[in-house]
């Protein structure tokens, strides 16, 4: 029998290829991209290394923060899931994106890769279950795609991949939508994980309180984070010199600077540098707001109240009763140290005011509004009687909300206002940002009252000046 030339070398080469792509994500990425005439760029090798640690279990939670156009989804949402099943053949994957359509788009591309390279990967698609958003493998693996807040009840996952949970600035700027995404993550997604289940979150930052920001703020120690800005900053993870582009073969530093001028600083800082900052509001600006861990000593404090008396029901959206505590130190600088708020009836409001006064102590002045009419006067008189022993000031509101808010807005613009770091910060800043066009202004009204009350009180004795940002 005549032998066929090169048969054994070709077979050996194919065997080596199969071993390599099943063992290393880098080899799999190079093979899968070769048909597109693409090769991994420098930063992609770092992405690959981080994803391999998820596969081995060295990392349980991975947050990838990269700018648009960096191919983060190609590696994390398309190449990685196909390779994951070579390491964990009988596992389950849930892939979620901001819409079901985008999630299925990724699922379709992963499925096509498996169709093309299944024999090399060591598994194939099951014939009876191969839709774009839901397919299974010959090794017992399962892949399920869903939109954020989409139905995943009844599913269990060894690996959850969340890619782009927010699709626009309109969604990112909506406190309601951010809360919906957060609740979906906590209540729906994480409860679907099997013991030892892992999560990869891939996103471009949109807002300081987006899903990635909230996870870093509340659970940062649990997450391994790779943040790669479009233009390198100090202590760059890739050791790039400052100002160097992330993917120069794709987009030069000059092209990125031009894009920066086009999109504006807020979008550039968030989406391209992964350092979102609050947008400027119509009245309030936040460029110089310091976040403090400890309130400055000495000085005087006022707890100002903006009152409402309607309980929250399924069919309404009532105003909040808000008690805002504002501190003025000897340098005439102001710190918002606490905000408490409630949507409840008159008895609940009364109890909240009395309980808060007890916690604050008698050194904190209490400022109450006197609403027009006899009923408003009665409420104020009743509360003052209940607060016997405290210094209580009752005044009527004069002028428009915008007029009352302007003096404290000027102080904030000048850098004379700080916030004590706490869970209420974001909701407060959101309301300031949306004022006077937002749906709620209760915290703004309480802030305006607190500031006006402090200004009318005798100022505290002066002490050594230490700028907020130096504390």
Q: Is residue 277 part of a domain?
A: no
Q: Is residue 2 part of a domain?
A: no
Give residue 20's pLDDT band: very low, low, confident or very high (50, 70, 90): very high
Give residue 468's pLDDT band: very low, low, confident or very high (50, 70, 90): very low
Q: Give the per-residue pLDDT at 313.
A: 66
Q: What is the mean pLDDT of the chain?
A: 88
- Residues 55, 185 share a domain: yes
- Residues 255, 129 share a domain: yes
Q: Is residue 110 part of a domain?
A: yes
Cβ count within 10 A of residue 316: 9
Q: Give the per-residue pLDDT at 16.
A: 87
Give residue 351's pLDDT band: very low, low, confident or very high (50, 70, 90): very high
Q: Distance between CA 401 and CA 435 in Å, rounded?
A: 10
Find which of 52-66, 285-299, 380-394, 416-430 is predicted with most confidence, using mean pLDDT: 52-66
Give Cα 96 distance to the centre of its chain.
16
Q: Is residue 283 part of a domain?
A: no
Instruction: Decide if pLDDT at 295 tops 70.
Output: yes
- Residues 321, 267 share a domain: no
CATH label of the domain that carries residue 169: 3.40.50
Number of domain units in the chain? 2
Helices (H), 57-147: 72-73, 80-87, 100-121
Domain ends where: 238, 272, 306? 272
- Residues 352, 268 share a domain: no
- Residues 142, 263 share a domain: yes
To 10 degrees, what angle do helices 211-219 and 175-183 make?
60
Q: Is residue 398 part of a domain?
A: yes
Q: Is residue 146 part of a domain?
A: yes
Q: Is residue 443 part of a domain?
A: yes
Give Cα 155 distance to the centre of its chain.
25
What count of Cα atoms within 13 Å lies in the side-chain half-sphere of residue 255? 10
- Strands of 157-163's sheet in order across: 125-131, 134-137, 142-147, 92-97, 157-163, 193-203, 61-65, 224-227
- Residues 296, 265 share a domain: no
Q: Could you list the residue range(s) of the whole structural domain that residue 364 is in?
A: 290-470
Q: Give the per-residue pLDDT at 252.
A: 95
Name the DSSP letter for residue 284. -
Instruction: Decide if pLDDT at 461 tops 60.
Output: no
- Residues 330, 434 share a domain: yes
Q: Is residue 1 part of a domain?
A: no
- Residues 267, 295 share a domain: no
- Tens of pLDDT, residue by residue over 66-122, are 999 999 999 999 999 999 999 999 999 999 999 999 999 999 999 999 999 999 999
CATH label of the domain that carries residue 386: 3.30.420.240
- Residues 191, 320 share a domain: no
How many angstroms separate the first and last alpha carbons of the chain? 87
- Residues 159, 30 share a domain: yes
- Residues 416, 454 share a domain: yes
Q: Which residue has the higher pLDDT, 204 or 319?
A: 204
- Residues 371, 227 share a domain: no
Q: Which residue has the higher pLDDT, 412 or 25?
A: 25
Q: Give the per-residue pLDDT at 374.
A: 45
């Amino acid at each position: 029998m005549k032998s066929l030339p090169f048969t054994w070398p070709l077979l050996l080469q194919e065997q080596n290829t199969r071993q390599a792509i099943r063992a290393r994500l880098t080899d799999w990425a190079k093979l899968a991209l070769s048909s597109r005439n693409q090769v991994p760029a420098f930063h992609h090798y770092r992405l690959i290394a981080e994803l391999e640690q998820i596969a081995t279990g060295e990392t349980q939670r991975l947050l990838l923060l990269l700018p648009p156009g960096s191919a983060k989804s190609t590696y994390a949402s398309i190449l990685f899931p196909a390779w994951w099943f070579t390491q964990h053949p009988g596992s389950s994957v849930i892939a979620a994106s901001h819409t079901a359509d985008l999630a299925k788009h990724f699922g379709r591309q992963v499925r096509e890769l498996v169709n093309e390279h299944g024999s090399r990967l060591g598994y194939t698609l099951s014939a009876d279950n191969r839709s774009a958003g839901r397919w299974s493998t010959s090794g017992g693996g399962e892949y399920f795609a869903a939109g954020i807040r989409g139905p995943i009840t009844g599913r269990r996952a060894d690996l959850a991949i969340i890619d782009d949970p927010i699709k626009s600035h309109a969604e990112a700027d909506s406190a309601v939508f951010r809360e919906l995404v957060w609740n979906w993550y906590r209540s729906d997604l994480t409860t679907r994980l099997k013991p030892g289940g892992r999560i990869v979150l891939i996103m471009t930052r949109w807002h300081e309180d987006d899903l990635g920001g909230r996870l870093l703020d509340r659970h940062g120690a649990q997450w391994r984070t790779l943040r790669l800005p479009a233009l390198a900053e100090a202590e760059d993870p890739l050791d790039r010199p400052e100002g160097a582009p992330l993917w120069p073969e794709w987009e030069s530093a000059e092209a990125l600077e031009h894009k920066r001028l086009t999109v504006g600083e807020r979008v550039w800082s968030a989406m391209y540098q992964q350092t979102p900052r609050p947008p400027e509001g119509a009245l309030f600006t936040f460029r110089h707001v310091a976040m403090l861990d400890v309130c400055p000593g000495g000085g005087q404090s006022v707890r100002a109240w903006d009152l409402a008396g309607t309980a929250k029901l399924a069919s309404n959206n009532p105003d909040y009763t808000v008690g805002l505590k504002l501190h003025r130190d000897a340098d005439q600088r102001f710190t918002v140290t606490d905000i408490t708020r409630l949507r409840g009836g008159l008895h609940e409001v009364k109890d909240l005011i009395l309980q808060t006064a007890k916690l604050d102590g008698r050194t904190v002045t209490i400022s109450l509004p006197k609403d027009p009419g006899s009923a408003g006067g009665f409420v104020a008189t009743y509360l003052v009687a209940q607060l016997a022993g405290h210094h209580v000031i009752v005044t009527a509101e004069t002028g428009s909300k915008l007029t009352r808010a302007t003096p404290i807005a000027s102080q904030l613009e000048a850098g004379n206002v700080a916030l004590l770091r706490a869970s209420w910060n974001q909701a407060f800043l959101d309301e300031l940002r949306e004022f006077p066009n937002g749906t709620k202004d209760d915290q703004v009204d309480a802030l305006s009252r607190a500031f006006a009350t402090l200004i009318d009180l005798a100022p505290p004795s002066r002490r050594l000046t230490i700028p907020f940002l130096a504390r």
